[in-house]
Structure 1
Amino acid sequence: MGDEVPVGLTRLWRLPAESRLGRPAALDVDRVVRAAVALADRDGLAGVTLGKVAAELGFTTMSLYRHVGSKEELLVLMGDEATGPAPELPTDPDGWRAGLRAWAYALRAVHARHTWLPHLPISGPPSGPNAVSWMDACLRALRGTGLDWAEKVGIMTLLSGYVRSSSQMSLDMAEGRRGSGLDQPQVEREYGRALAGLVDAERFPEVAALFTSGLFEAAPAPAGDPELAEFEFGLDLILDGVAAAVTAAEHRAR
């Protein structure tokens, strides 16, 4: 016999459990996870507890443990459910850049729909069916590049980490602005003006030059999204690095 699948993966992949005689269970993993995701969408990640999920479903907390082993397991299940399956991406063998760009933007859109996702604790490598579908989509985009597996996994890890951290920062900054009545350009102007009067040019020459450069006073482009522009800038830097790695792989193959 082969090794048994751990119970957490059994639930994550919705593998059939041993059949039991009697009436069908009134509760299952899907109902628990969907209720938890809806609760997180409404109240944030901090608002999700096994007790609150049970109350939403009209069950006792103890009844949930038959379907979810712990709060930590519930978070993994929630992450895979909320992320959903990866979208279809461009499949042109020479179009790895368009594929990775589409992949990054699609993941960013998922984070915008479920704003708690970027703050979800990372307990291990992707292991659910939806998470694996995103891995597969990213690797397919890199299939014709000549990169080895370690390079491909490194690129996938870097890109997913960038999207996550960028989304997390945007959400945190939006939360910090809440109640101030200021938008992001106004916050940056206030920041620049305050620090310009505090930073000693002899002690911090480059930072002092930055704050006197007028960068923080510049008005955003008409109808532009500063956060989107920053995301695009960072994404292009990463993709330029991937391009260099692809070129190096091509040289090795010659």
Structure 2
Amino acid sequence: MTDREVPADLGRLWRLPAPARLGRPAELDLDQVVRAAVDLADRDGLDGVTLQKVAQALGFTKMSLYRHVGSKDELFELMADHANGPAPDLGDEDGWREGVRRWSAAIRARYTEHPWLIEMPTSGPPRGPNAISWMDAMLRVLRDTGLDLATQVGVLNVVSGYLRHALTLTRQLEQGRDGTGLSQADVEQNYGRTLATLVDPERFPYAAQLFSAEVFEPGPEDDPAVDDFAFGLELVLDGVAATIAAQRS
């Protein structure tokens, strides 16, 4: 495929040189637009980002942005690729499992820095250079597992899907606690103690056993969100390990 055949939005995502235009040089560039949009999202959330607001933040008219961004959906894709940034060097001396843990922790850190990323609509597979760098990093981690490339992509999709679900749940729980002053540990402790008084062992014998076992009594150093994230990821990795063992046998 030549540059000429690349769709305009994809060309902008990869920062391919655009055809020269007649008239005065543009006072704006695409990176300025994207950075301004990311700053707005960091401050006001994804709902606070519109082409009009981005233009106002830059001191230009909305029509000026269309020279650089074709639509709001395209702006969102540009923002996500910028905010995710390039994948870090994960190292490869500790095996695939530790590599996937590091990859997942790095994704979680980016989403913690930019919480609005979890609200981004998913309209297709990753296309931007930074998104591809994260794909490349996962494939590098899995390269010596013996899994074929199609299965490696399947692992990438499963791990990414788990991360998206876990991070969405964490985000929703944080929003539910907003203004209460309670931590997730406080909420779980209150939940466990309240339900322990309500759940009848004769009606719900197994649930009653759960609530009486003080499962929802986190220790002073525990962070339920971190612990739950790690536990779920290990279950996913156990499944990957089983798939690797099956293919090798």
* 2:241 is the alignment partner of 1:243: yes
**Matches for 1:49-128 after TM superposition, within 5 Å:** 49-92=50-93, 95-128=95-128
Aligned to 1:151: 151
Contact (CA 8 Å) 2:185, 2:223: kept in 1 or not? Answer: no
Q: CA deviation at 1:242?
A: 1.1
Deviates more, 1:240-249 or 1:15-24: 15-24
Contact (CA 8 Å) 1:108, 1:167: kept in 2 or not? Answer: yes
Contact (CA 8 Å) 1:159, 1:238: kept in 2 or not? Answer: yes
Contact (CA 8 Å) 1:90, 1:98: kept in 2 or not? Answer: no
TM-score in terms of structure 1 length: 0.91
Aligned equivalents of 2:23 and 2:95: distance in 1?
54
Q: Which amino acid aligns with 2:241?
A: A
Aligned equivalents of 1:149 and 1:204: distance in 2?
47
Deviates more, 1:183-192 or 1:50-59: 183-192
Q: Deviations over 1:181-224 (max 9, x none)?
A: 222122112222333444455554433332233222x2x23433
Deviates more, 1:161-170 or 1:147-156: 161-170
Aligned to 1:16: 17
Identity of aligned residues (%): 60
Task: Provide closer, same or farther for how the CA distance between residues 16 and 203 of structure 1 changes in structure 2, counting only shifts above 3 A.
Answer: farther
In structure 2, stretches of 5+ residues that fail to align are none
Aligned equivalents of 1:150 and 1:141: distance in 2?
15
Aligned to 1:228: 226
Contact (CA 8 Å) 2:42, 2:114: kept in 1 or not? Answer: yes
Contact (CA 8 Å) 1:145, 1:249: kept in 2 or not? Answer: no
Aligned to 1:136: 136
Aligned equivalents of 1:188 and 1:224: distance in 2?
12
In structure 1, stretches of 5+ residues that fail to align are none
**C-alpha root-mean-square deviation of aligned residues, in Å?**
1.8
TM-score in terms of structure 2 length: 0.93
Deviates more, 1:172-181 or 1:110-119: 172-181
Q: CA deviation at 1:54?
A: 0.7
Q: CA deviation at 1:102?
A: 0.8
Aligned equivalents of 1:31 and 1:72: distance in 2?
17
Find the residue that maps to 2:69 and give its secondary structure. coil
